[in-house]
Amino acid sequence: MTNEQRTPPSKIEVEASIYDHRTFREDLFWQQIPAWENISEEQFGDHTWQSKNSIKTPKDLVKVLGDRLDPDFLEDMTQGLEITPMNVRMTPYVFALIDWDNPLDDPLRKQFLPVASQFLPDHPFKAEDSLGEDTDSPVNMLTHRYPDKVLFLPLTTCPVYCSYCTRSRVIGGSTSSMKKSSYGAKSGQWDEVFDYIRQNPEVEDVVISGGDSFNLRPEQITQIGETLLAIPHIRRFRYATKGIAILPMKILTDDKWYNALLDVVKKGREMGKQVFIHTHFSSPREITIWNKRAMDKLFQDGIIVRNQAVLQQGVNLSKEEMICLTRKLSYMNVQPYYVYQHDMVPGVEHFRTTIKEHMQLSKEVRGVTAGFNTPMFTCDLPGGGGKRPINSYEYYDQVHGISAWTAPLVKPGELFFYFDPIHKLAPAVQELWATNEGRSSMLREVIKQVDAVGTEYDKGKLEQKVNDLLESCQISNTNKF
């Protein structure tokens, strides 16, 4: 066939939504909030104004929303604060992005403002320290699980408090439903952490989290950074912060904090060591021109930023939301890194999804963009097994909502379980979950299936784990809502 005979390719019709990730909201959206209708862009963009005007109580909602606040929603939230394990703290930036004509269904409201009507009974196998961070803690404020990486938790405060926080056992102060021993950033208490890292030459990688690195003072950013850089075997570390998502103004206007960070990054580069930021966007609705400006500044200064999101019902479970989030992050030079299965901590059942839903979403997102800009869909295993690709289980019983996993290089010989939310299972299965006899029979059936596929594990350890799980069940707590 000659070139003249070939039919030219038809024009591909592309939906406008494919370009949504290229646009960033630039309007004065905060002026739709009655108390802030006269706040200028300059004032709104000041990180100190943002912090001073954070929303913390129902009274704050009344004060800033006035007649826009639905009394029924206010009552729902007031009751929710009696249930939630997390306190409330929201920057005006995020608060103003909520659709206050329909706050109940808004994905941003869901992440930060708890309402009683959306809580569900905790899973009977939930745990305050679901990931076993305290179990793998050789010294205070440090978790050492992977051979070459440690998690450093120098503080337990954040510029915002997420309702789905995996460390709700310590973050943000005590609530009506949970007593906590939170702590601020106290430099003098970190010596033991640094000594441990020095004495363990296999450690090359440090995650500085908490809490949130945005709440470290500039001199503490410098202290932690320079101390780690001075340890010969440390090759890389990351400051973890949700701040770029919910307080981008700090990057733009807090020069002392930003310059302290930049100096550490530059010094690391001179030494041939990597210093990154890991941030936390969960919804494209969080992203406006303010985040883009912050990322432009970080990018121009050569600071690499990666994103870790948590999969949440009603926030980002749809393929449209997750694809838009992935593309939008990539477009503003944030590398999508992880999307986590929700941890099994108290007060989060309304957020949790099934492993099946997570796997389906990962299939739908894979291929939409370049592989290096596609996040890894991951389950961080309850009990300290670490992060595993969402489809890497040994066995998954979708009917009873039980998946079994191994982590050979992290915890050899152990078997780990993740449990789907019970309310998503069939009514007859929900009845089984209501008794310890039913739970035991389902667990032991899954173990039989794991044995059938030839998975190797320490049967003594597993028997103890199953017994501990069953003994930990408190039906009264499970049905507390």
pLDDT in tens, 270-280: 999 999 999 99
Is the model's pLDDT at 392 over the cut of 90? yes
Q: What value does the mean pLDDT take over residues 29-52?
A: 98
Q: 107: closest CA among 352, 338, 316, 308?
A: 316
Residue 67: per-residue pLDDT: 96
> Which residues lie below 8 Å from residue 308, measured CB to CB, with a gap of 6+?
278, 279, 280, 337, 338, 339, 340
Record the pTM: 0.93
The predicted structure's pLDDT at residue 128: 96
Q: What percent of the chain has pLDDT over 70?
A: 95
The answer to whether residue 477 scores a pLDDT higher than 90 is no
Whether residue 163 has pLDDT greater than 50: yes
3-state secondary structure of 118: helix
pLDDT of 2 higher than 90: no
Residue range 135-143: mean pLDDT, rounded: 97
Return mean pLDDT, the chain: 94
Averaged pLDDT, 394-407: 98
DSSP per residue, 167-213: TTTTTT---SS---------GGG-HHHHHHHHT-TT--EEEE-SS-G
Residue 139 phi/psi, 5-degree rounding, is -140, 160
Of 453, 168, 443, nearest to 310 by C-alpha is: 168
Q: State how far Cα 90 lies from the chain centre.
A: 16
What dihedral angle (degrees, nearest 10) is formed by the CA atoms of 134, 139, 140, 146? Answer: -50
pLDDT tens per residue across span 191-218: 999 999 999 999 999 999 999 999 999 9
The pLDDT assigned to 15 comes to: 54
Alpha carbons 307 and 321: distance in angstroms, whole number: 15
Tell me whether strands 376-381 and 236-240 are parallel, antiparallel or unpaired. unpaired
Amino acid 19: pLDDT: 87
pLDDT of res. 184: 84
- What is the band of 240 on the pLDDT scale with cuts at 50, 70, 90? very high
pLDDT value, residue 406: 97
Query: Could you tell me the two tokens for 341?
Result: 């299965």
> Which of the four pLDDT bands, split at 50, 70 and 90, describes residue 154?
very high
Domains of the chain, each with CATH number or no CATH: 35-118 (no CATH), 142-392 (3.20.20.70), 393-481 (no CATH)
Q: What pLDDT was estimated at residue 9?
A: 43
Per-residue pLDDT, averaged over 447-451, amounts to 96
**293-316 pLDDT tens trace:** 999 999 999 999 999 999 999 999
Sheet holding 142-144, edge to edge: 142-144, 149-152, 205-208, 236-240, 274-279, 305-310, 334-340, 376-381, 386-389
